[in-house]
Amino acid sequence: MALHFKCCPSELDTEQVLDYPHDVKNKHKTPSESFFKHTVYGLRSLYKLLGIVDKHISLPQIERSKKLPVVLSQEAIKRFLSTPKLLKHRLIIGLLYGCGLRRFELLNIDIQDIDLYRKMLHIRQGKDRKDRYVPLGVLLCKGLKIYLGVEQPKRWLFYRKDGQGNLLPYSESGVQWVIKTTRKLSSINKAITTHSLRHSYATHLLEQGLDIVSLKELLGHAAIETTMIYLHVSQLGKEKAFSPLDRIYGIDTLS
């Protein structure tokens, strides 16, 4: 922006400030709108730092993505979970789905956060620095009990060692490798990520009867509007959604 106008952005008038981001959004040929977003976020930070309120207010709003999340069926989840040979990898996938964890929340699990007696997991400092509890359930507790007995982690549930032998939290790239490798071996033709498992967790809970307010708390969402997106992908109601094409040909939609 400074190169375009040949001056500091703080010296531009409101019309120039508005024109440039819109020009970037409409004409800049990139595979996403990230360039536009970074321009707006950068300007907001600059004007906040300089105390220029009027220009900050006049900046365009960043539209939130309206894409629906990728959700796996319950059968696909069972298939995905049974694919890895190592218990550690099955637990990584199991906790991401079974507790609806974000990737960084998984990596931050301390062994003291696991309550096998109450079958609960304490998630500390999640998004927006909020703590919350989520149920672990019977199956995850069984797997964790075996894993803790064999691995005997000292602090983090999942860990790695650096070149000097020091213990560090398991890496994000390590989790991504587990998901990518498992997807390939399972032959599931969906773009599965750690967040796909979280989306599936939320959707399946709604389909199994959990109310939207309780789901909001389990996911650690700040606003109910964020949680409500799962109402669009959940198959709720007395009867499962179906294609009318099947009905006119007398095909059993429940099979």
CATH number of the domain encompassing residue 215 = 1.10.443.10
Q: With cut-offs at 50, 70 and 90, classify the pLDDT of residue 14.
A: low
64 within domain boundaries: no
pLDDT at 242 over 70: no
- The reply to whether 129 and 33 lie within a common domain is no
What pLDDT sits at residue 26? 63
Q: In 3D, which of 4, 8, 59 has the Cα closest to residue 28?
A: 4
- The reply to whether 217 and 102 lie within a common domain is yes
Q: What average pLDDT does the chain have?
A: 81
239 within domain boundaries: no
Q: Is the dihedral of CA 94, 95, 96, 97 positive or negative?
A: positive
- Structural domains counted in the chain: 2
Known catalytic residues? 102, 127, 195, 198, 221, 230
- The reply to whether 36 and 157 lie within a common domain is no
Give the mean pLDDT of 60-66: 58
- The reply to whether 111 and 187 lie within a common domain is yes
The CA-CA-CA angle for residues 112, 117, 120, to 5°, reads 65
32 within domain boundaries: yes
pLDDT at 87 over 80: yes
- The reply to whether 112 and 180 lie within a common domain is yes
Rounded-to-integer distance, Cα 30 and Cα 50, Å: 30
- The reply to whether 54 and 93 lie within a common domain is no
What pLDDT sits at residue 200? 93
What pLDDT sits at residue 45? 77
- The reply to whether 227 and 129 lie within a common domain is yes
Higher per-residue pLDDT: 58 or 217: 217
What pLDDT sits at residue 150? 94
pLDDT at 192 over 80: yes
Domain residues for the domain of 27 are 2-58
- The reply to whether 223 and 106 lie within a common domain is yes
Give the mean pLDDT of 203-228: 89
Q: In 3D, which of 59, 34, 24 has the Cα closest to residue 44?
A: 59
- The reply to whether 218 and 122 lie within a common domain is yes
Q: In 3D, which of 225, 185, 228 has the Cα closest to residue 203?
A: 228
Rounded-to-integer distance, Cα 15 and Cα 12, Å: 8
Query: How many other β-carbons are positioned within 10 Å of the β-carbon of residue 88?
Result: 15
Rounded-to-integer distance, Cα 201 and Cα 180, Å: 19
- The reply to whether 8 and 42 lie within a common domain is yes
What pLDDT sits at residue 2? 73
Give the mean pLDDT of 45-66: 64
pLDDT at 133 over 90: yes
What pLDDT sits at residue 31? 46
Q: What percent of the chain has pLDDT over 70?
A: 73
The length of the chain is 255
Q: Which residues pair with 156 in a beta bridge?
A: 110
45 within domain boundaries: yes
Q: Report the amino acid identity of residue 196.
A: S
